[in-house]
Structure 1
């Protein structure tokens, strides 16, 4: 039989998925189940901003019954009393005998001497600041976000391990239930130390729920459904951030807020019996019958007919691929990986992508966190900054294929840098708000596009490993982001200035990477190197065909 003709008639899993349809009833049901934890993940990624939200408070003045007396503390330029300082009382009016008399008058306080507060009067109580008496301890508030994001250093590799070894469904359930359990326990924290430990454990064990959901969702549909699936995930994540903001605004209690958003995550435990496992993962583990049963159920649920021989061909291909991988493991570990480590090009791209990832997480999360500190309603500020991500995601889908990865991402970083560096020179008002939102729009565009771009510059054999390294190193940015509001103590616009400089540097670094639009994914180290040499895709394919057929035709590219 002609091998070329046989190759043309081969049936792949994607062919079966095309017959089943990308969004039949079966996939709609499973996507409905998968997107629920994604909505919850959107809430959990933002909730620490409201748990540790700053409150209105001032020094407690034991000499005064009226704690709001305007002569006991210095006033700031905006007309509000200082939170952390008060005027010292004159020494001769501090005895116990005089305290029994009326000592709350302007002439009893030394306005030339300011002292730190011993205790505080809180006028709000919706965050841990009042609960654990964190007045004027901003470092403890910002530490909450840092500890939360540090948990992802553990959850990223942990979720990947569970997903690859025990299945996508189990990884999703484990992460979501872990979120729920530690989140509910955190709602009953007795002190700050207990709270901060649980703030770390929750994302450390459950922070990978978004990744687990995303992988499972993409493996359930064919190529034509993946772009739309990505847009669905981004939309649900944004909706989660908006939802937790509205709930915090309404409940005005951090304990009630945690109970409301974390209890539903525990119910995901029942997904073990209701959610479909990835048939691709089942095939990779040699569990062909189970994988084919998943496809068969989808066929019956969607009321379509798939020829029986299609399943037989897919099973044979899966067995061949699995056997081939087993044979290549030893050779790959001994040769390819060593070559990878010895390649300056790989190290350059690894450093560049890691820096881009760090910048993206720092600026992306930093702008969201600092939005709460802006003037006006903190809840509305945060909602607007989150919603601006929606058009950025749509812009990504439109621009990346049309104008190329490199150009779009570089321009997005440059515009982020220009906008945020100039933000401090814009007078307050509508223009200032527009610049701030513009910075969030373009960093979202760059950040979300980076996922695609980075995957296209690494060779297939170690693409997942190298991306995991970039993503893990990049989490340094999200861990540092909660500390950036402290920089405003030295200069009001220092956080946005830092974000702008980092973004501009990232724009220049993007220019050092090759353009990957409309290019074949590199399957080997040589093909990845050919990207730097700008070898066209058709030349790569021609050279590959020559090597396979042994025709002897010279296919070297003239550079």
Structure 2
């Protein structure tokens, strides 16, 4: 007897699976929130150079006088031809035409301080750390580290969930997300200095990326493993809808909260209830059977049968266990890994094709969505 044959006895998509699957779908809302928080907390508002008068006297200067400080297009082409005109006019001051240096010929001067528009954001990390102009690479580096963590999380948590189970890895991932979220919200402090604050924030984002993949991978696998073969296509598709719902939920938070630290703090608090999902979601009975944990699998399968108002057939289950033990005894070497994908020519081609497909799709999807 195969597992799928026995699973029909207890119910492949009854009340038990529907309730647990809904909870799994709810967990799928958390990863997109952590991925796209950066779009809002590190948004770049419109900005201009802060003039010497504003720095010295803290006064508001009329727009017609401010225009004296903006370099003309001809000046940008002459002195800063390697960058765009708009970037030149935002990042450099025209001291030649300022009210204090009329008629004096000097090159354009780079800005050290900036004035940011607050129409849409009250404060962002870009403003806090002046990650514009020649410091814009600081913003890009955070995302580079984040998606490096995304890759590491996909590799590490996938392997760990196969070895130690889906449920404990998902629980650990939720803990890491909560801790990392509070690091991102609280660690950047003026008294710590820029370098320490920046390093801690990068660490938090890296951990968030790793753990987000842990939640997404284990959640998806549990979702398709607790149902029967005929329901896997449905569950594999519907869970992705909650990824989009998570994005909309983040949009609602960002619309109401316009400061980066409060937004991070609100999302960190939002992650706390997910810690209790470890005590609600079950381990995959399919994984337990495959690893030889027959007693633990029986407890869960009995619970499934009871919740679905079906009878648990002990004799059929013993036949299943006997078949699984014979199957394990017939296999000389247990386990699966990268080397097993390379042994077969067909599996090798499929693996390479899937890797290329995922790389291209993620490059385009996240490239477009992160640039909005």
SS in 2 for 1:133: coil
Query: 2:96·2:106 contact (CA, 8 Å) conserved in 1?
Result: no
Distance in 1, Cα, partners of 2:20 & 2:200:
37
Per-residue Cα deviation, 1:435-493 (whole angstroms, up to 9, x for no partner): xxxxxxxxxxxxxxxxxxxxxxxxxxxxxxxxxxxxxxxxxxxxxxxxxxxxxxxxxxx
Q: Distance in 1 between matches of 2:341 and 2:253?
A: 53
Query: Larger deviation: 266-275 or 208-217?
Result: 266-275
1:36 is displaced (CA, Å) by: 2.1
Partner residue, 1:224: 230
Per-residue deviation, residues 74-129 of structure 1 (Å, max 9, x unmatched): 36799999321111157xxxxxxxxxxxxx73874768842211211122343201
Q: Distance in 2 between matches of 1:249 and 1:75?
A: 36
Picking from 62, 65, 71, the partner of 2:52 is: 62
Q: Structure 2 matches for 1:19-58, cutoff 5 A?
A: 19-58=9-48
Once residues 237 and 10 of structure 2 are traced to their aligned partners in structure 1, the CA distance between those partners, rounded to angstroms, is 21
* 1:304-344 deviation line (CA, Å, top 9, x unaligned): 2344332222222222222233x2449x99xx959945x77
Q: Classify the secondary structure of the residue corresponding to 1:151.
A: helix
133, 138, 141: which one aligns with 2:139 = 141
CA contact (8 A) 1:127 1:254 kept: yes
The corresponding residue for 1:171 is 169
Conserved in 1, the CA contact under 8 Å of 2:180 and 2:208? yes
Q: Which residue of 1 aligns with 2:260?
A: 254
Question: Is 2:132 the partner of 1:127?
Answer: no
Q: Which structure is richer in relative contact order (CA contacts within 8 A, separation 6 or more)? A: 2
Partner of 2:149: 151
What is aligned with 1:366? Answer: 367
Residues 48 and 148 of structure 1 are in contact (CA less than 8 Å); yes or no, is this contact kept in structure 2? no
**Are 1:117 and 2:111 matched, yes or no?**
yes
Distance in 2 separating the partners of 1:111 and 1:219: 73
Out of 92, 98, 110, the residue aligned to residue 85 of structure 1 is 92
Alpha-carbon distance change, 24 to 360 in structure 1, aligned in 2, over 3 angstroms: same
Deviations 1:114-155 (A, max 9, x none): 221121112234320112222322222222221111102321
Tell me the distance in 2 between the aligned counterparts of 1:321 and 1:264: 45
Over 3 Å counting, the alpha-carbon distance change for 1:280 and 1:339 in structure 2 is closer
Name the structure 1 match of 2:294. 288
Find the aligned partners of 1:368 and 1:110 in 2 and give their Cα distance.
46
Aligned equivalent of 1:388: none
Q: Does 1:269 align with 2:275?
A: yes
Could you say which residue in structure 1 is the equivalent of 2:329?
323
Structure 2 distance, partners of 1:111, 1:321, is 86
Change (3 A) 1:30 1:346: closer
- Structure-2 change in CA distance of 1:230 and 1:340 (3 Å): closer
Cα deviation 1:498-548 (Å, max 9, x = unaligned): xxxxxxxxxxxxxxxxxxxxxxxxxxxxxxxxxxxxxxxxxxxxxxxxxxx
Cα distance change, pair 302–346 in 1 and its aligned pair in 2 (3 A): closer
Aligned-partner SS, 1:63: helix
SS at match of 1:71: helix
In the alignment of these two chains, the number of paired residues is 343
2:78 corresponds in structure 1 to: none
**Aligned equivalents of 1:290 and 1:329: distance in 2?**
20
**How do residues 6-17 of structure 1 correspond to structure 2 at under 5 angstroms?**
11-17=1-7
State the shift of 1:223 in Å.
0.7
Deviation at 1:180, TM superposition (A): 1.3
Alignment RMSD? 3.1
How far, CA to CA, are the matches of 2:320 and 2:239 in structure 1?
A: 29
Contact 1:24 1:302 in 2 (8 A): yes
TM-score by length of 1: 0.56
2-side partners of 1:225 and 1:111: how far apart? 75
**Correspondence 1:392-431 to 2 at 5 A:** none
Q: How far is the alpha carbon of 1:173 from its aligned partner?
A: 0.8
For residues 294 and 110 of structure 1, do their structure 2 counterparts lie closer, same or farther at Cα, with a shift above 3 Å needed?
farther
CA distance in 2, matches of 1:274, 1:241: 24
Deviation of 1:71 after TM superposition, in Å, equals 1.9
For 2:368 and 2:280, how far apart are their aligned partners in 1? Answer: 39
Contact 1:37–1:176 under 8 Å retained in 2: no
Q: Are 1:72 and 1:109, in contact at CA under 8 Å, matched by a contact in 2?
A: no
Distance 1:109 1:183 in 2: 53
